[in-house]
Structure 1
Amino acid sequence: MTSPNSPNSSRRSFLKNTGQLLIGFNLLPLTFCQSKSEILDGGISSGSQVRSSMGSDIIDSWIRLDAEGKVTVLTGKMELGQGIRTALMQMAAEELDVNMDIVTIINGDTGQTADEGYTAGSGTIERSGASIRKAAAEAKFFMVNMASEKWDESPENLSVKNGLIQSKNGKHKISYWELLDGKFLEGKVTGNAPLKNPKDHTLVGKGILREDIRKMAQGEAFFVHDLRLPEMVHARVLRPPSYGSILIDLDKESVLALPGVLKLVVDGRFIAVIAKREYQAIKALEFLKSAAKWQTEPLSPQQADLFSEMKKKSLPPQQVEEAKHINTIIGNSPQILEATYLRPYQMHASAGPSCAVAEWKDGKLTVWTPTQGVYPLRSTLSDFLGIDTKDIRCIGLPGSGCYGHNGADDVSADAAFIARSFPGKPVRVQWMREDEHAWEPYGSAMLLKLKAGLDASGKITGWDCGIWSDTHSTRPGGKAGHFIAARHLEKPFEFQPGGFSGGSYRNSSPLYNIPSKNIVLHNYKGPLRTSALRGLGAYGNIFALESFMDELANLAAIDPFEFRIKNLDNPRAIEVIKTLKSKCNWENRDQSGRVGYGLAFAQYKNSASYFAVVAEIHKSPTGGKFRLHKLTGVIDSGQCINPDGLKNQTEGGMIQSASWTIMEAVQYDANGITSKDWNSYPIMRTNDVPEVEVHIIDRPKEKPLGAGEAAQGPVAAAIVNALSSLLDKRVYELPLKDYFV
């Protein structure tokens, strides 16, 4: 007799046992079953995997209709605060023709969802959303055809409303769930199932309130930090003073004698303490700081020498885009401009320190994690711990939003490693603030050198761009050396960066109609740990590109709006800029000299959302400094799924970018990172936040475009352009804190 947990178990039997309909891409074998309680709580309780993955290259989406009249959407993508839970449920509910109140979603669980890699690059709605939409349409298509055969009526004579199929003459009606009647309906998405006409949409394009925001606003348990499991213990990790520090001595006995301490984990320079209560773990950590003796190696180069060293010690140049004779083309132009721009190292600066929970039980590991990729994390933990991926389950839960690679994967590795040394109980690990600031991977410092020529009419003749940057992606991808903990063991795992990514030159190629463009990347291995920060290199590249465009407009003596339009042939880009000009009342702006205005525009990755913004800066009445007063933006993300969500995304990106641009830079010296708290690394506070206004150009007939990172670069350039207009000189280096109150 076949075991119900066997891969060969009948899918029809599975449906009878679980009352679920699964429609997906590349239908995966159901290797495990999941209890009802696990389904209801979204996989919070630990247990065996529900199904296996067919590989990280496969993107599939699932729709589950359970026997209780509910719909569950399953996606491998993680909710990071960008609102994808609501948007993806809207897309599924729209195609299924069901109400939102019966739809739930499960995000990122290697035991339940498909492998969709990382949630990154503003790609969830474009890719995962499209897959979910097709899967939902396929489910409806099959069920309408089942009803058609049952009643011997043409599918064209049937309609669906809130999961109820009925004939137009009113003779027949049946719900999806009654129609299934315990039968399993399976099928790959064929592409034959028609998608709803946008003019018939009732949910997509509508502002649906986000349940996650309500929970956060009301202080309900929501984050991985809030997770409490039976018999859970607490751990803290003692980090070395700096990257190259070596442990010389440690007073272990005194630490173990402290109240509540259960175990001290020491492996090389990885040191962690486990205690019954969190406060006891923190007290033990404070004691450990004095109990450990370290030998340190100085960081080099020093901060003051960073940019000069970048140019001296970069790797051989990489040609990104080539224009032969670019120097001659620019040199023959009537007007020539050249400038260099500098971006510092910047933090994710997550408001809440990274946290994860792990349990090692019966040779299997379960990790509750805020990672942006449960499957990449699982494969890297497999390498780190030397166990098979089938014995690891990673369950994604919201963490403190970061939009990039912060400490989420590292703290998950910490928890997993510590849990293996203390089996049978869940181990909760939370970083301290100084851990988060000093050990997270930063956004790379960048040096950008631009040169361009103008013809007599104000059109750009040639564009030459040089980029100096460290890597923008060292996310875990199966190699344990990407974890800080793995590098600190007695037998350390070597960090294998896997080369430099294209993130360094993201958005370096202007969308403008320029006949000759030459772009060269100079990779540089810098002194600090770097990885993905929202927008990757696009933030630095657009800051430089759009600041340079403003300088070119001034050189040509052309209005900055008209200059950009003159050099564009993309109709959607032109419409975004023209719409912004109207919305910000550009023609009637204050030209008294007390207010500065700056324009910037980009299409993120030259393939995602179009975004244009005007920054308005006021002179301080009390002195020679300035204050950011207002940001006005216009975004075109194709079909808008949820206008409230799109505005949330864009407003948040604008404020974060303003904070980076005005305030943020990682400080370090020979002894390590000195930006270890909110005083040494200030971010924008509520009183600093400007008025923010966002206008949406909705295009229901176009595909949805990624929007989460569209604002980062343009806002930086707009602020710099506004400030420069008031200073009567150009500003080339970030941050701008010396100019602002």
Structure 2
Amino acid sequence: MFVGVSVPRLDLPDKVAGHPRFIHDLRLPNMLHGRILRPPSPAARLKTLTPLPPDIHVVRDGSFLGVLAETEPEADQALTRLRKSATWTESNTLPDEHDLHTYLRAGPHETINVHTPTGEKPQGTQHTATYSRPFIAHASIAPSCAAARWNPDGTLEIWSHTQGVHPLRKALAQILGHDAIEVRHAEGAGCYGHNAADDAALDAALLAREAQGRPVLVRWSREDELTWSPFGSAMSADITAAVNEAGLIQSWQYDVWSQGHTSRPGYADGTPGLLAGTHLEAPWTYPPATDPPMGSGLGMARNAIPLYEIPHLQITGHRLLKTPIRSSALRSLGAFMNVFAIESFMDELAEQADQDPLAYRLAHLTDPRAQEVLRRATTTANWGRPGLGLGFARYKNTGAYCAAVAELEADHDIRVTHLTIAVDVGQIINPDGVRNQIEGGATQATSWTLKERVRFNHQKITSTTWETYPILPFTETPEITVELVEHPGTPSVGAGEAAQGPVAAAIANALTATLGIRLRDLPLTRDAVINAIA
């Protein structure tokens, strides 16, 4: 009886009023507070530790360091003193931030044949372009947090905002050598895939082991969150297409290079994957991030196959196997970059053919639902006005159809003023819920496209604050119009990741339509525009 009806969310009143709801608000009887001293860089190892006064409760296991205290301020103060007492050995292991194309393509690689063409390759006029995105952080508004308690009967209780309680439990059991573990889910303040929630759970368990049965709440710092959480991998892609005299695509070759997109607990045939495990006296060594299989939508090659009708398609992925920067699942995995690249290139091909970008896409589509979302988005946005950009995809090529039209200003800086998005998720269960997901995804995609980039030197991550890792502020959030294209009786599919790629492409194409320049490397910043013009 509620299918197709917007149902009010039960969680919003507490969140709007600021009532305790998140794991960070958890207060257990007789609870201690914990903090972790992370190494200063990924390859650092603890060299010396000057003894601290006995009133500071230090927990150490190899290069894993933490403190316990009665209150949060006392824990922060103890952490400051602990940091001053530790010295580390460090080495340069990170790539050149300004040449990620070379880093990603240097290898060694696992080559994945995503789509192999059949028949002879058609002839035509060739066009080629290269696109990229940097490493991207989860950048949740609240940092990761967890609580743990070792009980007198030997059981371990964990409170975590993990996305997988069972894989986390198994990973904890592997590292701790202890099976009597219960993981309880608690709500976190933002999670877009595999962030540091699981890592914080192991931190809490290690500190609580020294707390004599008292529960321990561990909260990460903003710096920890922006430097030690798994990132969405940087990516680089080449596209070569051959077109006939009418401008229609006859062949398409797509190669994408990337680190893997999943290192969740249990990846790579059962690897625990928890951060603190690599810092213990007997450290764990983890393999590079892997990718989900074809049946789960792939990782770096997610949405690498264009939905357009192209006679000759060759799609190849190249997963980097030497990865000093930690990567894992971030909202839409490789689809964000792949759709950005494909849809930017479609606009470039349309320009070469002297055709309207909408008409050019429709000429390569036979799927009526794909055509419908394109027409709905462009009609609503009054397509044909100058300065508009278009992006389209079907998530995983099996999920939601989404078309986005972007409108922006580009005077002193780039600001997206309006997004018009049409989405087809099949049978709509909760219309308001679908709009919320699309609006949230579009806002985050705008931030990724215009602002976000993990910064680092050869030794460590340097984007450690909101100043050095800026995200889209409320003052720059675009107005968003969402059109729901309804198909009652068809299977319902997810809406949460449908908008990421189309929005990025729409913004890039709107920038070209506005300024007449083409940027192929994300993010699309003011400096990048100035360099392109120069």
Match of 1:528 among 325, 328, 332: 325
Shift of 1:738: 1.8
**Per-residue Cα deviation, 1:663-707 (whole angstroms, up to 9, x for no partner):** 000000023000000000000000011111111012221111111
For 2:514, the equivalent position in structure 1 comes to 726
Match of 2:163 among 369, 372, 382: 372
Q: Distance in 2 between matches of 1:410 and 1:541?
A: 29
Shift of 1:481: 4.6
Q: Is the 8 A contact 1:360 1:419 kept in 2?
A: yes
The answer to whether the aligner puts 1:221 opposite 2:10 as a matched pair is no
The answer to whether the aligner puts 1:320 opposite 2:114 as a matched pair is yes
Give secondary structure in 2 for the equivalent of 1:503.
Answer: coil
Match of 2:284 among 493, 499, 512: 493
Q: Is the 8 A contact 2:204 2:216 kept in 1?
A: yes
For 1:514, the equivalent position in structure 2 comes to 310
Match of 1:456 among 245, 252, 271: 245
Shift of 1:728: 1.6
For 2:126, the equivalent position in structure 1 comes to 336
Structure with higher RCO (Cα < 8 A, 6+ apart): 2
For 1:607, the equivalent position in structure 2 comes to 398
For 1:696, the equivalent position in structure 2 comes to 484
Q: Is the 8 A contact 1:480 1:493 kept in 2?
A: no
Q: Distance in 1 between matches of 2:517 and 2:10?
A: 47
Please tell me whether Structure 1 or Structure 2 has the larger radius of gyration of its CA atoms: 1
Q: Is the 8 A contact 2:259 2:289 kept in 1?
A: no
Give secondary structure in 2 for the equivalent of 1:281.
Answer: helix
Shift of 1:302: 2.0
| CA 723–498 in structure 1, closer or farther in 2 if over 3 Å, else same | closer
For 2:469, the equivalent position in structure 1 comes to 681
- In structure 2, runs of 5+ residues without a counterpart are 293-297
Shift of 1:251: 1.8
Q: Is the 8 A contact 2:94 2:460 kept in 1?
A: no
Q: Is the 8 A contact 1:446 1:469 kept in 2?
A: yes
For 1:303, the equivalent position in structure 2 comes to 97
For 2:374, the equivalent position in structure 1 comes to 577
For 2:175, the equivalent position in structure 1 comes to 384
For 1:561, the equivalent position in structure 2 comes to 358
TM-score (norm 2): 0.94
After superposition, residues 350-365 of structure 1 pair within 5 angstroms as 350-361=140-151, 362-365=153-156
- In structure 1, runs of 5+ residues without a counterpart are 1-201
**Per-residue Cα deviation, 1:332-372 (whole angstroms, up to 9, x for no partner):** 21x32110001000000011010011111021011110000
For 2:295, the equivalent position in structure 1 comes to none
For 1:716, the equivalent position in structure 2 comes to 504
Q: Distance in 1 between matches of 2:86 and 2:165?
A: 34
Give secondary structure in 1 for the equivalent of 2:323.
Answer: coil
Q: Distance in 1 between matches of 2:418 and 2:143?
A: 30
Shift of 1:324: 5.0
Q: Distance in 2 between matches of 1:497 and 1:385?
A: 22
Q: Distance in 1 between matches of 2:195 and 2:410?
A: 36
Shift of 1:291: 0.8
Q: Is the 8 A contact 1:322 1:519 kept in 2?
A: yes
Q: Is the 8 A contact 1:603 1:611 kept in 2?
A: yes
The code of the aligned residue for 1:642 comes to: N
Give secondary structure in 2 for the equivalent of 1:648.
Answer: helix
Q: Distance in 2 between matches of 1:427 and 1:316?
A: 42
The answer to whether the aligner puts 1:465 opposite 2:254 as a matched pair is yes
Shift of 1:437: 0.6
Match of 1:644 among 418, 432, 437: 432
Shift of 1:378: 0.7
TM-score (norm 1): 0.68
Give secondary structure in 2 for the equivalent of 1:458.
Answer: coil
The answer to whether the aligner puts 1:246 opposite 2:45 as a matched pair is yes
Q: Distance in 2 between matches of 1:586 and 1:498?
A: 42
Percent identical across equivalent pairs? 44
**Per-residue Cα deviation, 1:471-518 (whole angstroms, up to 9, x for no partner):** 100001174651111110010112134744430100000011111110
**Per-residue Cα deviation, 1:598-630 (whole angstroms, up to 9, x for no partner):** 10000000011100000001233xx4x432111
Q: Is the 8 A contact 2:388 2:513 kept in 1?
A: yes
RMSD of aligned C-alpha atoms? Answer: 1.6
For 2:414, the equivalent position in structure 1 comes to 626
Shift of 1:318: 2.4
Count of residue pairs brought into register by the alignment: 520
After superposition, residues 180-219 of structure 1 pair within 5 angstroms as 202-219=1-18
| CA 325–304 in structure 1, closer or farther in 2 if over 3 Å, else same | farther
Match of 2:346 among 549, 554, 561: 549
Shift of 1:564: 0.9
Q: Distance in 2 between matches of 1:244 and 1:498?
A: 17
Q: Is the 8 A contact 1:314 1:522 kept in 2?
A: no
Q: Is the 8 A contact 2:127 2:242 kept in 1?
A: yes
Shift of 1:397: 1.1
The code of the aligned residue for 1:220 comes to: H
